[in-house]
Amino acid sequence: MDMKILVVGGGGREHAITRALSCNSNVKIFSVMARRNPGIARLAERVLLEKEVNISKISRFATECGVDGAIVGPEAPLEAGIVDTLEEAGVPCVGPTRMAARLETDKSFCRQMMERHGIAGCPRYRVFHDAGAARRFIEEYEGDLAVKPVGLTGGKGVRIMGEHVDRAGAIAYVERLGGDVVLEERLDGEEFTLQAFVDGRNLVPMPLVQDHKRAYEGDTGPNTGGMGSYSMPDHMLPFVSRSEYDAALQIMKDAVAAMRAHGTPYRGILYGQFMNTREGPKVVEFNARFGDPEAMNVLPLLESDFVDVLYHIVEGDLSASDVRFAEKATVCKYLAPEGYPEAPVSGQPLTIGDCGDALLYYANIEERNGTLYTLNSRTLAFVGVGDTLEEAEEIAERAASSVTGRVFHRSDIGTRELLERRCQHMKEIL
Ligand code: AMP
Ligand code: GLY
């Protein structure tokens, strides 16, 4: 029997979601995206080009198409309450309600929830609503702080003292933000991503992934939405021990239990961004969705039927036996327009050469008369899947290098050298 599924969003992450769904030949995809992603459009039965926060239009489209369910890629429609509206219209969703999505959309809610429920891994933090008070706190604080706007910023709103700004710069930033900020102790360590399927009560983890926030090689340059990421065949990372992994997983489970106890059960994909520190894993943030790029690492490894997994999430009876991932390494490399993120050159043509065995995911790109053009954000990504990290890296790197045009990528992502640097850094802080 045919299943009609609505996918909300039009980036690389949603292309990965769409492709994973379309492995099931009984699925018909309906897509809502602000711009036509050529990869998603090719797999979709029908496309609505609409802003992803325009919930009433999306809900009408869903009803008109008679979809059986929906999965929401990005955070903005979750914050706008798309799940509440679709479910009122009788469309079951994989994604949290507006209240449950506050785990991501309201950083003060997230920290206060962790504190109230005694969840481990919460950095020392203070919430401010007043620039003067925040300024005094920064002036008097010994050591470095992370300055975070309370709301969503597309991963680009955080300023770290000693990294992006000095003390005066942190104060200037707080003043520019009008004082609604969370100030946190600066954590030192290695970051990793733990994503999980959550049905409101049960949580099933996906392989660990490490993303690369900085724009340029060697982790230099401004923060981006993420330039690429990798995962290992054993689903672990060499700088995360088994007990650190268990601690991170327990934090995620405790957060799900806390949301349930709070009367806002969490259903959907839960994304934990952790910093592995000397004191074990600390929560940098939770996201209420798949990571972008991290979705492109894990979804190609999913051996179970994705539609079946989503069905169990909606039914609330998800168990670990429903979810199986291949024991392979993945490396994802994003191409971005020259000048990204600060001054991206858009409207530039690009040509893809021989991409070998790499998987291609379109992101912020435009196709006109058979030619691809850059826009303002990350353009497209290649994913290599292999028995070893080296193999996966080589596949992704060769494909990324085959592209000609005014784009760049990080050739160091997924290389042994970078991995060894990470392990070395972890040894140094312990
Ligand atoms: P976020 O938007 O919260 O994911 O933050 C973006 C990036 O800022 C993270 O991926 C980290 O690299 C960094 N960051 C956030 N919070 C902290 C912190 N407390 N200490 C050090 N780095 C942080
Ligand atoms: N890769 C970071 C994010 O999706 O927020």
Round to whole Å and give the CA distance between 428 and 426: 5
**Does 291 sit in the ligand 2 pocket, CB within 6 Å?**
yes
Ligand 2 pocket test, candidate residues 78, 287, 334, 413, most atoms within 8 A of CB = 287
Which pLDDT does position 3 carry in this prediction?
96
C-alpha of residue 284 to centroid of ligand 1, in Å = 6
Query: CA 190 to CA 75: how far, in whole Å?
Result: 25
- pLDDT attached to residue 96: 98
- Best mutation site among 275, 278, 292, 422 for ligand 1 pocket (most ligand atoms within 8 Å of CB): 275
Domain boundaries, the chain: 3-99, 124-185, 188-322, 329-429
Return d(Cα 280, Cα 416) in angstroms, integer: 24
| Beta-carbon-side half-sphere exposure of residue 429 (alpha carbons within 13 Å) | 17
C-alpha angle 340-341-347 in degrees, rounded to nearest 5 = 45
Choose one of 211, 224, 297 to mutate for the ligand 2 pocket test, by most ligand atoms within 8 angstroms of C-beta: 211
pTM over 0.85: yes
Give 10-residue mean pLDDT values along the chain (430 residues): 95 98 97 98 98 98 98 98 98 98 94 96 94 95 93 79 92 91 95 98 98 96 94 98 98 98 97 97 97 98 98 98 98 98 97 97 97 98 98 98 98 97 94
Same fold, 124-185 and 329-429: no
pLDDT at res. 154: 66
Selecting from 3.30.1180.20, 3.60.20.10, 3.30.565.10, 3.30.470.20, what CATH number does the domain 188-322 have?
Answer: 3.30.470.20
The yes/no answer on whether domain 124-185 falls in CATH 3.30.1490.20 is yes
Q: Whose CA is nearest to atom 2 of ligand 2?
A: 291
pLDDT score of 379: 98
At the second CATH level, the architecture of 329-429 is Alpha-Beta Complex (3.90)
Give the Cα separation of 163 and 340 in Å (integer).
19
Question: Which ligand gives the minimal distance to the CA of 185?
Answer: 1
- Find the ligand nearest to 378 CA: 2
List the structure tokens of 109.
């809610």
Q: Which residues line ligand 1 (CB under 6 A)?
A: 123, 146, 148, 155, 158, 160, 184, 186-187, 191, 213, 273, 284-285
Q: Best mutation site among 194, 269, 273 for ligand 2, i.e. most ligand atoms within 8 A of its Cβ?
A: 273
Residue whose pair of structure tokens reads 């894990």 in the numeric block: 298
**Token representation of residue 210:** 């490490």
Ligand 1 geometric centre to CA of 158 (Å): 6
Q: Is 287 in the pocket of ligand 2 (CB under 6 A)?
A: yes
Question: What is the model's pLDDT at position 430?
Answer: 86
CA-to-CA distance for 265 and 257, rounded, in angstroms? 8
In 93-179, DSSP assigns E strands to 93-94, 125-129, 145-149, 159-160
- The domain defined by 3-99 folds into Rossmann fold (3.40.50)
